[in-house]
Structure 1
Amino acid sequence: MNQPDPIHLHANRDGIRYEIRGSVAPGFEKLASQFQEHFAHGLELGANVCATVGGQVVADLWGGFSDRARQTPWERDTIVCMMSVNKAVSAACIFHAMEQGALDVARPVADYWPAFAANGKAHIPIQWILDHRSGLPVVEPRLPKGAAYDHARMSGALAAMKPLWEPGTQAGYHILSQGYLLAEIIRRATGRTMGGYFAEHFAKPLGIDYFVGVPEAELERCAEFCMVLGGTILDEAAKDPDGWQGRAWHQLKEGEDFNSREWRTAEICSANGHGNARAMARFFAMLANDGVLDGKRILASETIRSMSAEQHQLTEVVMQRPYHQASGVLRNSPPICFQGPNPGSFGHHGVGGSIGFADPENRISFSYATNRMHARKDNGPRAGLLIKQLYEAVGVDCDTPDYASTPIASWNRGM
């Protein structure tokens, strides 16, 4: 495959010029044009998209601004909160630890964390936390606002509580709680925090610019996350604070906009990982290529197959959405989490539009990161049409969900 060529594009919208830079391999120019079109139609503030085929980068584009005021350009090394894309990162850490013999996802959590056995939870396996069947989607009784940044307090409360349904019988998306649970399991099994474990076993060997808990020295690179309420799960939480979604977000401090120092530096490893599409495309490229990237084996192919195997297709009760649920990752689940044409693709999306996934059949990885939330509950058309252009460039037919067939000018911009 030919090496990507440098590219410099721009788009004008409402008198503002959006610069787009990066590189695109021959044959993938339409992906760049699609990215440019999103800025031209006012759909983006700042964003990065990156894709690989066979482990080789075919497109790496970034553009726009990293702040709402449009004063600071989005640079090559800008990072942003990618929300629940973090769940795939945490799942890979869990399965890496299992491969190393530190834990077994089929065993009860209480084997590693004895206090977790309280209130009838002695039999719950790690697997049910990974696939959202543990009955612990929220913390009950509720802790004070601001407790979300205190891992010990949150994990201790989850260990003490009674499941909110019979574990294993139904699924309920563990929006934030999954992160505290998996991080405590990793800590007890390996002695490392989730952020430290990921850095040692994935980020450093692969050169991945992604953090679970942003170090102080990296905070200045963070893009401003521009939150939207209308049409998102955050809107549902605000409207019904006593509902599932409201309870899931309750322990954040009042007025949290996902830009606070507390949010960025905490390790809430199901929701607050910060990175960019380039980093996650490399991460998923490793998963798409049997656990090997740049000649370095990170995971065994059998481990990846175990992690990505479908566990259920239940309609989870927190957000009332059906997923092809694997272990900490989602298999292709359009329209909620569209990952191209291959049913065997797996990865995770994040509220607002960011996504990363691996397609082992086609040896493809893709990631998209944005600081401008879209006003939707699915992963949305911005990533969807970029994915379509990627697959068409490699000669694979790719039908997008219905949203992508509507005129681009009619899409809800969300800001």
Structure 2
Amino acid sequence: MPGTHHPSYQPLADLFEACLTDGTEAGASVAVVHDGELVVDLWGGEARPGVPWAEDTVVQVWSVTKTMAALTTLVLADRGVLDLDAPVSSYWPDFARDDVLVRHLLAHTSGYAGWTATLDVPGLLDLERSERMLAEQEPWWEPGTASGYHMVDYGHLLDGLVRGATGVPLSEHFRTLVAEPLGADFHLGVPEEVLGRCADLIPPPPGGIDVSALPEGNLLVPTLVNPFLDPAIWNTPGWRRVSVAGANGHGNARSIARAQSVVSHGGEVGGVRLLSPATIDRIFEVQAEGVDKVLLLPVRWGIGYGLPHPSSAPAVPDGRVCWWTGYGGAIVVNDLDRRVTVAYAPNRLENHMTSSPRTDAYVRTAFACLEAGA
């Protein structure tokens, strides 16, 4: 198992090695940044059959991508380019509704959890077309009154907003404002020269969502099937190259922890300040709490991140903590009280929406190590 770790994190290293050895993992990476230091940086297993997971291997982390899109948007707000309380339409002229605010997009409360008109994957990857479709439709519920997870279109909504405000795509702002200043090898849209470093995703075993058991009129199914992201496309260059900034960001645990540690460290890490304390405080303003209309689970949403909740995040500690996870198991947890960010990025997916035993074990063990070494 390559990598390094502080001795106080030996239990986390032991857990990771055991999961690689017994086949729980195919390939993965785990990282912890504490007080500005990379105290855990582990990787191992296979990126693809016969290809070892290397130090610079990157993998699609599904909705952990949303934390990068949100962070970029918050940086633009911190710089006065966006106002979190302003109508989206003030920046995105094509957006049909004036009662949807910027913070509604960031907190999954806009009512735009998916596309109303039928959309296929090529249409999804045509960002300007699929964003225009969202801008022209009506919300699925009254904006700001409840959350409904913006599962696939989160990045489209923020890209439309940011592109309208600046003339520059969200992915470009992420690269220049976040990834490059922080030295984070994370990509919203994989460049040609990085494609060869991508690990292939392995779909989860059968037995995930039982659609027949869902209540009639639920919003989960419309978000899942329009469009349906068939596993056959996940590992293709055509999918990887385009920035679907709510779902297909590629990185590893080190790059996730590096980028997101700017949040857990109060807006500044490694001498790079991206957020003011006032903007950090806004992350923790509760925008919605209760059963999410799409996830059908109780969730507490701040601005751009999930906040601790015992049902949706049993392993995430209480306190001044913000987090989010990705389909299959990837996760990032930012703890501002303890100035720590924990990240995990696997290529073998589990039946995981917001929580699962494998991911929870890494998170619990990482925080137990932190406490033991404090």
Could you state the TM-score of these two structures normalised by the residue count of structure 2? 0.93
Distance in 1 separating the partners of 2:211 and 2:65: 22
Aligned residues: 371
Q: Relative CO higher for 1 or 2, CA cutoff 8 Å, sep ≥ 6?
A: 2
Residue in structure 2 matching 1:244, options 202, 219, 226: 219
1:74-113 → structure 2 map (5 Å cutoff): 74-113=53-92
SS in 1 for 2:38: strand
In structure 2, do the counterparts of structure 1 residues 352 and 236 end up closer, same or farther at CA, with 3 Å as the change threshold? Answer: farther
2:44–2:53 contact (8 Å) kept in structure 1: yes
Residue in 1 that maps onto 2:302: 326
Q: CA deviation at 1:338?
A: 4.5
Matched, 1:279 2:255: yes
Q: Which amino acid letter does the alignment assign opposite residue 72 of structure 2?
A: C
Q: CA deviation at 1:383?
A: 2.4
Residue in structure 2 matching 1:228, options 174, 191, 204: 204
Residue in 1 that maps onto 2:29: 48
Query: Percent identical across equivalent pairs?
Result: 31
SS in 1 for 2:31: strand
Distance in 2 separating the partners of 1:231 and 1:335: 21
In structure 2, do the counterparts of structure 1 residues 262 and 319 end up closer, same or farther at CA, with 3 Å as the change threshold? Answer: same
1:147-162 → structure 2 map (5 Å cutoff): 147-162=123-138
Q: Which amino acid letter does the alignment assign opposite residue 327 of structure 1?
A: I
Distance in 1 separating the partners of 2:292 and 2:229: 26
Residue in 2 that maps onto 1:129: 105
Distance in 1 separating the partners of 2:157 and 2:88: 9
Residue in structure 2 matching 1:61, options 42, 59, 84: 42
1:57-116 Cα deviation digits (max 9, x unpaired): 11111000011x3x0000000000011011111111111111111111111111111221
Matched, 1:141 2:122: no
Q: Which amino acid letter does the alignment assign opposite residue 28 of structure 1?
A: Y
1:274-313 → structure 2 map (5 Å cutoff): 274-313=250-289
Judge which range, 41-50 or 139-148, deviates more: 139-148
SS in 2 for 1:63: strand
In structure 2, do the counterparts of structure 1 residues 111 and 274 end up closer, same or farther at CA, with 3 Å as the change threshold? Answer: same
In structure 2, do the counterparts of structure 1 residues 378 and 103 end up closer, same or farther at CA, with 3 Å as the change threshold? Answer: closer
Judge which range, 284-293 or 44-53, deviates more: 284-293
Q: CA deviation at 1:253?
A: 6.3
Could you state the TM-score of these two structures normalised by the residue count of structure 1? 0.84
SS in 2 for 1:357: strand
Q: Which amino acid letter does the alignment assign opposite residue 248 of structure 1?
A: T
Runs of at least 5 residues in structure 1 that lack an aligned partner in the other structure: 1-19, 398-415
Distance in 1 separating the partners of 2:177 and 2:354: 31
1:130-160 Cα deviation digits (max 9, x unpaired): 1112111111121244311110111010011
2:33–2:39 contact (8 Å) kept in structure 1: yes
2:313–2:355 contact (8 Å) kept in structure 1: yes
SS in 2 for 1:327: coil
Q: CA deviation at 1:389?
A: 2.2
Distance in 2 separating the partners of 1:311 and 1:396: 34
Distance in 2 separating the partners of 1:379 and 1:344: 20
Runs of at least 5 residues in structure 2 that lack an aligned partner in the other structure: none
Distance in 2 separating the partners of 1:271 and 1:221: 18
Q: Which amino acid letter does the alignment assign opposite residue 104 of structure 1?
A: D
1:245-304 Cα deviation digits (max 9, x unpaired): 343242256664411222211111111110000001112222111111112212112211
Structure whose CA Rg is larger: 1
1:185-204 → structure 2 map (5 Å cutoff): 185-204=161-180
Q: CA deviation at 1:191?
A: 2.1
Residue in 2 that maps onto 1:30: 11
SS in 2 for 1:356: strand
Q: Which amino acid letter does the alignment assign opposite residue 175 of structure 2?
A: A
1:368-413 Cα deviation digits (max 9, x unpaired): 000000123332222222222222223269xxxxxxxxxxxxxxxx
SS in 1 for 2:117: coil
Distance in 2 separating the partners of 1:49 and 1:253: 26
1:49–1:369 contact (8 Å) kept in structure 2: yes
Residue in 1 that maps onto 2:362: 386
Distance in 1 separating the partners of 2:177 and 2:101: 24
